[in-house]
């Protein structure tokens, strides 16, 4: 059975790890903390593994945070699209559709590589074509002729005196 790493068990491990990460010489660290250079040399592998685990955890956290931001942006774009459609603002509605397309593209780029959807430019072309069709249909609905309003003057119906 192998002995546990003396540096890992040392109560000053955070200081030892920080000195190793800074690049201080192992001889200087050993002299400062009263440990052996060979123990620090063996411990260096543990520091590297700990740094890799910390980096992976941070990347996972950042990815989850980034995905959450994209979801919030998508919700905002949908809300603004509904508002623009209610106000019959074609330009604003088209901008919102374009932003939704960007959100979908970002979500796809963040998805695992095993996705069956087209990727990169292929996905962008498919989504762009769908958005173009949606825009054309929306523009056609919003620009349909409407029945003319007949304005009756306020004094209409009164006889000429």
One pLDDT digit (tens) per residue for the chain, 161 residues: 577 888 888 899 888 888 888 888 889 999 999 999 998 888 888 877 777 677 777 776 666 677 777 778 888 888 888 898 889 888 888 888 888 888 777 777 766 544 455 555 665 666 677 777 777 777 777 776 766 666 667 775 555 54
131 touches 97 (CB < 8 A): yes
**pTM confidence score:** 0.36
Q: Residue 104 has what pLDDT?
A: 79
Buried b (16+ CB within 10 A) or exposed e, 59-93: eeeeeeeeeeebeebbeebeebbeebbeeeebeeb
**The pLDDT of residue 50:** 75
| Contact indicator for 17, 47 with CB cutoff of 8 Å | yes
Rg of the chain, C-alpha, whole Å: 33
Burial of 2 (0-12, 13-18, 19+ CB in 10 A): exposed
Domain ranges of the chain: 6-52, 60-142
Q: Residue 45 has what pLDDT? A: 82
pLDDT value for 20:
84
Instruction: Check: CB of residue 5 under 8 Å from CB of residue 42.
Output: yes
């Amino acid at each position: 059975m192998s002995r546990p790493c003396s540096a890992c068990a040392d109560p000053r491990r955070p200081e030892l790890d920080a000195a190793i990460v800074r690049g201080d010489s192992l001889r200087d660290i050993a002299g400062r903390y009263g440990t052996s250079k060979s123990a620090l040399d063996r411990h260096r592998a543990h520091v590297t593994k700990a740094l890799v685990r910390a980096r992976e955890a941070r990347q996972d956290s950042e990815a989850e945070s980034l995905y959450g931001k994209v979801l919030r942006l998508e919700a905002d774009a949908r809300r603004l699209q509904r508002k623009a459609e209610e106000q019959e603002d074609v330009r604003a509605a088209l901008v919102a559709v374009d932003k939704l397309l960007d959100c979908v593209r970002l979500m796809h780029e963040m998805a695992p590589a095993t996705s069956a959807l087209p990727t990169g430019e292929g996905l962008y072309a498919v989504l762009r074509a769908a958005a173009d069709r949606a825009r054309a249909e929306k523009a056609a609905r919003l620009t349909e002729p409407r029945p003319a309003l007949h304005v009756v003057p306020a004094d209409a119906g009164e006889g000429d005196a």
